[in-house]
Every structure is written in C-alpha cells, then in structure tokens.
Chains A and B, each alone.
Chain A
Amino acid sequence: MSDSGEATPIASDTPSIYRQEIFNVFIKTLRSDPPALIAAIFILALVFVAVFAPWVAPYDPLSQNIINAFSSPSAQHWFGTDEYGRDLLSRLIYGARPALIVGVFSVVLAMLIGVPIGMMAGLLLGQFDRIVGWAVDILLAFPPLLMALLIVTLLGTSLPMLVLAISISSIPMFIRLARGSTLVIKNFDFVHMARSYGASNVRIISYHVLPNIIGPIIVIGTLSIAGAVREEASLSFLGMGVLPPAASWGNLIRDGINNLFDAPSLSILPGAFLTLTVLAFNMLGDTLRDILDPRGITTRTTTKK
C-alpha cells in the first residue's frame, strides 16, 4: 500500500527523525487508503465514547424498567431494551470500556514482559536462550482461552486479573518476535561498535536494538489488541470475564443468546460492535505493517494465533 521503501536499520542517534518520518508516512497512508482511515476514525470514536461514557450514554446502563422490557428500537431507545428494560445502546457504550481496557493493557503488559526477555535471549543465546525457549514451548502448549479461564478462576474475576490472564497467552509471541529481530539487528556494525566501546548488554538492548525493532513490535501489538478484545469477550461470554450486571460485549451476547428467538438484536448488535472493533484493529495493524515492517519481520518470526 505505502511506498516507504527499504527501511534500513537506522543508528540509534537518529530515532527522533525516524519517528517524525514514520508519523508523516502514517498520515499520508491514511489519506490515500480510505478503509484504513475509517478504521482509525472508528477506533478514535470508540476510545472517545468509552472515556466519556457517562456523558455519551443516554441512560444509566444498569437502571431497570421491567415494564419496558424487550422494547423494539424507538426514538427513546435507539437499539431497544433488554430483558430488564435496560437501554441496549447505553450498555453497548459501557461495554466498550472493558473491551478497550483489557485489550490495550493486556498487550502492553505482554510487551513489557516478552520484549526484554526476547531481546536478551537473542543477544545472549546459550543457556538463557535455551531456558526461554522451553518456557515458550510450555506456554504454547496451553490452549490460550483455557489458560485464561484457569487464571481468572483461581485469582478471581476483576479487571486487573483479566488483563493478566489474557496477557500471558500473548507473551510467547512477543518473546519470539523480539528474539528473532534481535538476532538480525545484533550483527549490524553499530552494535559491534557499541560493544567495542564497552556498552553493557542492557545498554545495547535499550539504545541500539530496541529502537530498530520497535516497528514490528508495534505492528504485532496492534494486531494483538484485536485478539485480546476478542478474548475478553470470549471469557465474558463464558461467564468468567466481566460479571453481570456490569456490561461487556461478551456478556451482552451471552444474555442475548437466551432470547435468540424473540429479540435477536440483543445478541446481534453487541456482536457487531465486537466484530467491528476487532476488524478495525486488524486493519490498522495491517496498515502499520506496510509502513513499519516492509521487510516482513513480523510474518517471518511469529505466526499469530
């Protein structure tokens, strides 16, 4: 899509110029690629709505009005009401909060844990790399959803625990990505040079390796948000994520499925919001990949679950 050409690794003394250039290319790409622009606007709007939910939502998402249960869409209730007469639109708006919080923070946590470990493994190799490799193999042998379920069951269902539970299954991916990219970067002259003047491993990783692999990490991070949003919804759908009466798209779908015959919109609409959000993050990730990772490091060193 974009024509950013060969992004040769840039020495660590020029990151600010590099960043400015990336940002310009990003804006340029969004201008010339309407679907990506729509995805970006959708995500911005969703963040806005989630942050300002109490002002944006027309009703209190928890206030019940049994007489008005299962009402069809109307001027008062744009998307109708659920089995307790709660306004579906307001519940959808509040449901964006856990989706975005869990989606973003679980990926950030997985990055903070996985990337340094992966870079160290790639840099040091040897025994440390072997142990990390085993840990990754063991983590990958757990089905991600079941592992998250187990963690939430044992540690209790709260938003921080959901973030932790969902982040664990994306850690192996960041370890692999960071390790693979570090293996490439560490053979460049500027790394050898840094070594020759006595830079420590930590300094090499943070000043020389990280700035050069941050692009692919952001790409995989964006795509992982899509996966994490879906995972949060899956856990809530199984009744182990965000617990009712608090709204989450997953538990809205779960409630809706009980009334599939009479009020299909109760499960169709939350699912549509969920799918569009996941789609928007996937599209944004694809666009970022064209800009930040034209050599395809992300596809070669990781394979997304």
Chain B
Amino acid sequence: MFYYVVKRLCSAVFIMWAVTTLVFFAMRLVPADPAEVILGDNATEESLQAIREKTGLNLPVLTQYRIFMSGLMHGDLGRSMINNQSVSEQIAALFPYTLELALASLFIGAAIGIPLGVLTAVRRNSWVDYLGRIFALSGFSFPAFYLGILLLLVFSVYLQWFPVVHTFNVGGWVERIEKLVLPALSLGIIQAAYITRLTRSSMLEQLELDYVRTARAKGISESSIQYKHVLRNVMIPVITAIGLYTGAILGGAVLTETVFNRPGIGKLLVGAIAQRDYTLIQSGLMVFALIVVLINLLVDLSYTLFDPRVKYE
C-alpha cells in the first residue's frame, strides 16, 4: 500500500513536469510575442524591449526554462508577466471559490444521482425509470453554461430569489451560500445526470449476478440486497467516473464562473490565456494537473473502502 502510494506520487510528479514543460515550449515555439500582446499594437520597440528584459523573455529559451524550473524546485511558481503578482498568491486567493463550487456541485450530483440511479434500476421499465432516464439523457446533453443562464433567468430575473449581480468579498457566509446555490445547481444537475446514468447501468449489471440470487435465496430482504450488497459494488465504477470527470468539471467551471461572474481559478486561467501570461498559464495548468492526479489517486485508494478484495501493489 505504502509502496503503491509512493509510486503513484512519483508518476504524479512526472505528469506535472511533462505538463508544464509541454506548455512551456509550446508557448515559446509559436510565433506570438507576449510583449506585443501586453503593450498593444502601438508599443515602441524600446518599451517592448524593456518588457522582454523585465520578464526574461529576451533570454534564450533553454535559459528561461532553467530559471523557471529552478524556481519550481524551490516552491516558487513565479510572477505574473502582466501585473507582477505572485502566481501562488493569486491561485491561493481564488482556489477556495472554485473548490466550494466543485464540492457543492459534486454533492448535489451524488445526492440526486446515486439514489435516482438505484431507483431507476430497481424499478426498471416503470414510469420512475422512464422519467429518470429522460432526466439523465437531457441533463447529459445540457451545456452547463446554458443551464446556468436558464436558472439565472428563472430564479434571479423572474422569481428574484437570488441576486443577479454577484459581488464578492462582501457579506457573511449567508450571502456566500446565496451566491453559491445557482452556480452549484447548474453544474450539479448535470453531474447528477451523469451519475444517474452510470449508477443505473452498473446497478442493472450487478443485479444479474449470482451473489444477488444467493442473497435472495437466503431470504435477505430486497432492500437490504439493493443497499447493502449491490450498491457497494456499484460505487466503484461510479467513483471512478467522478474522478475522471473532475478535470472536466474544474475546467468547465470557468463557463459557470463566467455566466454568474464568480471569481475562480478557471476564470483566472482563461484571462491568463487571453493575455498570454506565460508564467501564470504554465503554473496554473500544472496546479490543475496536480489536482486531477491527486483526485485520481484518492479515487483509486477509496476502492478498498468499498471492496476489501482490492489490493495495491
């Protein structure tokens, strides 16, 4: 187990290195000069040169790479090329917003998706099943930002239950939750659709297996079979999928953040990409990769909770 975790962490470091290095060289190989983007079209050659010197863009690419890497080794993610703010501070300031959005939507997704998936599988071909499947298929097809706009229209513009304009850093935790509800719902409903589909299909697969027949033959009640025996086995594919979606959820959160005008690292990175802020893009994508890899590790480790037969080597 310990050996397994160490091995996975090493591969995590390798993936993070590969991601940053790829992004680093890809950005420097294309013919786009960030200095020109920063200063605009009317910049003089001297001011362009000054920016290049300040940000180190005038140095040979390999030297830039060595400086960046040695910074990373010392835990320094570098400074933004646009506003000279520390990248780690910017990410740390915005990360809580993205994290609360991701966790809240995941909670909504699991709270709706898992019970609905079980219900539709158990009552296969009943009206509950049909409604559940329609919900899952349409939720699966809704772009999160479009669902966000519809929720905003219904609950903020017409019903006026929630504020339309979101200002942050004001108000206590009640206001903060108020601002979280609609964005979390718009992402969460879509996740619920994914989780419903997956829970239903793996539940149906499990219900056919021999151990269910044995349990029935022993006279165990149907609900006990469903929740104690089958659900446990269903959790593994469901949790795997949740882990795999995490990257997409975090990356996709930028759309929700844009619709609701929420701060977050998705929006931070989109801004950085638009402004060709090389340092912020490199380090930001590396942090993303770290999150994705760590969540997948946690997912793999959680398998033992649901299935004691799983051993790590």
Q: How many residues of A contact B (CB 8 A)?
A: 41
B152 lies within 8 A of chain A by Cβ: yes
B135 lies within 8 A of chain A by Cβ: no
Q: Which of A52-60, A100-108, A201-209, A274-282 touches B?
A: A274-282
Q: Please report the C-alpha to C-alpha distance between residue A240 and residue B270 in the assembled complex, in whole angstroms.
A: 10
Chain B, residues 184-208, CB within 8 Å of chain A (1/0): the string is 0000000000000000010000000
What total of A-B pairs shows CB separation below 8 Å?
124
Which residues of the other chain, A, contact B26 by a CB distance below 8 angstroms?
150, 154
Are B281 and A144 in contact (CB-based, < 8 A)?
no
Are B22 and A138 in contact (CB-based, < 8 A)?
yes
Are B251 and A145 in contact (CB-based, < 8 A)?
yes
Are B157 and A260 in contact (CB-based, < 8 A)?
yes
Contact A257:B19 (CB < 8 A) given known A143-B251, A271-B143: no
B103 lies within 8 A of chain A by Cβ: no
Q: Please report the C-alpha to C-alpha distance between residue A155 and residue B293 in the assembled complex, in whole angstroms.
A: 28
Q: Please report the C-alpha to C-alpha distance between residue A90 and residue B281 in the assembled complex, in whole angstroms.
A: 38
Are B30 and A154 in contact (CB-based, < 8 A)?
yes
Are B247 and A140 in contact (CB-based, < 8 A)?
yes
CB distance from A24 to the nearest CB of B (A): 26
A137 lies within 8 A of chain B by Cβ: yes
Which residues of the other chain, A, contact B150 by a CB distance below 8 angstroms?
268, 271
Q: A291-305: which residues lie under 8 A (CB-CB) from chain B? A: 299, 303, 305
Q: How many residues of B contact A (CB 8 A)?
A: 51
With both beta carbons as reference points, the residue of chain B lying nearest to A277 in the complex is identified as B141
Are B141 and A138 in contact (CB-based, < 8 A)?
no
Q: A260-B157, A278-B141 are in contact. List 4 more A-B contacts (CB 8 A).
A: A141-B15, A142-B247, A237-B258, A303-B244
The residues of B with any CB-CB pair to A shorter than 8 Å are: 11, 14-16, 18-19, 22-23, 26-27, 30, 32, 137-138, 140-143, 145-146, 149-150, 152-153, 157, 201, 240-241, 244-245, 247-248, 250-252, 254-255, 258-259, 266, 269-270, 273-274, 276, 281, 285, 288-289, 292-293
24 pairs, A vs B, C-beta closer than 8 Å: A134-B18, A141-B19, A141-B292, A143-B247, A145-B251, A146-B270, A146-B273, A150-B23, A150-B285, A153-B273, A153-B274, A154-B26, A154-B32, A233-B143, A237-B255, A238-B254, A253-B149, A257-B259, A261-B157, A271-B150, A275-B142, A275-B146, A282-B137, A282-B141
